[in-house]
Amino acid sequence: MNIRILIIHQSAIIAEGLQRLLQNSSLQLHDHLRMFADPADITIHNGSNYIFITTPALFQNLYNLHLINFAEANYRFIECISETAIERDNSCFEAIYLNDTQNQVIEKVRNTINSFNPEKNNAISSLTERETEVLKLVSLGNASKEIADKLNISTHTVITHRKNITEKLGIKSISGLTVYAILNKIIDTDELSIDDLI
């Protein structure tokens, strides 16, 4: 699962410290972990999952700067504050304190990571029978409306199936789905010319 973790803090010691601490953990974050001092220097990629570790003020700042992207992004906010006595911001998912141990910090970040669709993470991404039928018709060049008519379901349901197929397979384009269908013998290329399909 693609989750980007961004540490945003004016204090270089806190930002650098958190980054080191998380990098050396078993979370396997690799290059999905970055730190910033200024929210204006950040891009929010559409369709990505984000964890922001930052202060309430900087989070608000970031939010205001990227309103449009926030609408499409899936994100969690981990508040990073100096003392336990300070009250937690309501919008934060977790709060990291200055006197937390390494394990406490890692656990909080792990909880946050797991909160992104925990059941989907482990699901085996094989297609259902109905999805396979829809995939077959998509590969043969049918539009959603035609598929709906052939399978006697609503266009809306077809679109939902298509969305799930793309999510499960990691393939979005029609010709990509056709390649998948041929590779998995969902469509029979003996009867059809590949040239017509892709």
Partner 1 sequence: MYNLSQKLADIIHHDHQLLPILNRFGIRLGFGDQSVGEACKTHSINAEFFIEILNTYHDPDYFPRDRFLDFPLPLIVDYLKKTHQYYYAFYIPEIEKQLNELIASAPGENILSLLTRFYLKFKQELHEHLHYEDQFTFPYVLNLQKLYELGGPITNPELLPAKSIIEFEETHSDVDSKLLDLKNIIIKYLQADYNDNKCNILLTTLYNFEDDLRDHSRIEDKIMVPKVLQIEKLLFPS
Q: Which residues bind partner 1 (CB under 8 A)?
A: 4, 6, 34, 36, 40-43, 45, 169-173, 175-176, 179-180, 182-184, 194-195, 198
Q: Which is nearer to partner 1, 159 or 171 (CB)?
A: 171
Closest approach of partner 1 to the CB of residue 194, in Å: 6
Please state the φ and ψ torsions of residue 171, each to the nearest 5 degrees: -125, 130
Closest approach of partner 1 to the CB of residue 188, in Å: 14
Distances (CA, A) of 32 to 87, 121, 148: 29, 17, 40
Q: Which is nearer to partner 1, 33 or 80 (CB)?
A: 33
Burial of 63 (0-12, 13-18, 19+ CB in 10 A): middle
Contacts of 135 (CB under 8 A, 6+ apart): 127, 165, 177, 180, 181, 186
Closest approach of partner 1 to the CB of residue 180, in Å: 6
Q: Which is nearer to partner 1, 38 or 149 (CB)?
A: 38
Closest approach of partner 1 to the CB of residue 103, in Å: 27
Closest approach of partner 1 to the CB of residue 196, in Å: 11
Give DSSP secondary structure letters for 60-102.
Answer: HHHHHHTHHHHHH-EEEEEEEES-TTSPPPTT-SEEEETT--H
Q: Which is nearer to partner 1, 110 or 168 (CB)?
A: 168
Q: Which is nearer to partner 1, 57 or 194 (CB)?
A: 194
What SS3 class is residue 106? helix
CB atoms within 10 A of CB 101: 9
